[in-house]
Structure 1
Amino acid sequence: MRCSWLADLTHTRPSRITHAVRRLTEAGLVERVRCESDRRSWFASLTEQGREVLGRAWVPHVRSIQENLLDALTDEQREQLLDISRTLLAHLAPASPLAGEAAPPRPGPQAASA
């Protein structure tokens, strides 16, 4: 991904992305690749080591969100959180395909007990 796109996506200054990419590059997790069509631009690309670290972190991260956030909320609160999250996403990243996405259908009581 272009470093400038990362800055836009994260609503941060390009200098912060440059600093983060430099640190990730030093750790061997990311490599900088020059854009062939625009020699002024750089891409940040995960290295194989970066992919491995991401792969190991994914499952515990998702489990932690489930246990520490979602499981602590009632069904009504989860619906409210989803609505609030979509509202913020539409404000912060209106071009995101998720910004206008309708809430997924919830299973009825019959499906939950099956």
Structure 2
Amino acid sequence: METETGTRWLTEDEQQAWRAHLDVSRLLMHQLERDLHPFGLTNNDYEILVNLSEADDHRLRMSDLATVTLQSKSRLSHQVTRMENAGLVRRESCESDRRGLYAVLTDQGWNTMREVAPHHVASVRRHFIDLLSPEELDSLHSSLGPVAEHLRSSRGIG
């Protein structure tokens, strides 16, 4: 239904799908955060550890890490400072750009990832993956893949 202002309001089915997506997103992230809490980590901490653990030499430029984690450079800097204080990461200067810095996964950060990852995967399975059939997972991936790609490309994220 379109109004005189040109707004295409959501149909009842579209509204239900949108709200279900919002509910699942919020509730799932809240649950995953709760399951990381015993390890002293937040979802943001874990995301940073994952990105660094998968990067070459376990390091990423701070600006690149801000991009992939969808954080401002300022917010990421505060986050990395907290993680440095916990011994999980360290900053290193970038030789090719004196203003640039790398975030680097420490041995303690790597050991933390190795300890926490199995628990996190079990949580993802328990609260998401195992609740859906293989066909539903395929459908979800097919449905949400184009949305994710659209949002990545609109932000300039590869």
Same fold, judged at TM 0.5 (above): yes
**1:88 and 2:147 equivalent?**
yes
> Match for 1:35: what amino acid?
C
Could you report, residue by residue, the CA deviation over 1:35-64 in whole angstroms, capped at 9, with x for unpaired residues? 000010100001000000011011111121
Q: 1:23 aligns with which of 82, 85, 95?
A: 82
Do the aligned partners of 1:9 and 1:93 also contact (CA within 8 Å) in 2?
no
* CA–CA distance in structure 2, aligned partners of residues 82 and 57 of structure 1: 25
Alignment map for 1:1-114 (pairs within 5 Å): 1-94=60-153, 96=158
**Higher normalized contact order (CA 8 Å, seq sep 6+, divided by chain length):** 2
Could you report, residue by residue, the CA deviation over 1:69-88 in whole angstroms, capped at 9, with x for unpaired residues? 11111233211221234223
Q: What root-mean-square deviation, in Å, do the aligned CA atoms of Structure 1 and Structure 2 show?
A: 1.5
Say which SS state the counterpart of residue 52 (structure 1) adopts.
helix
Say which SS state the counterpart of residue 31 (structure 1) adopts.
strand
More displaced stretch, 28-37 vs 3-12: 3-12
What count of residue pairs does the alignment treat as equivalent?
A: 96
* CA–CA distance in structure 2, aligned partners of residues 50 and 14 of structure 1: 21
Bigger share in helix: 2
Q: Structure 1: where are the runs of 5+ without partners?
A: 97-114
Q: Structure 2: where are the runs of 5+ without partners?
A: 1-59
> Match for 1:7: what amino acid?
A
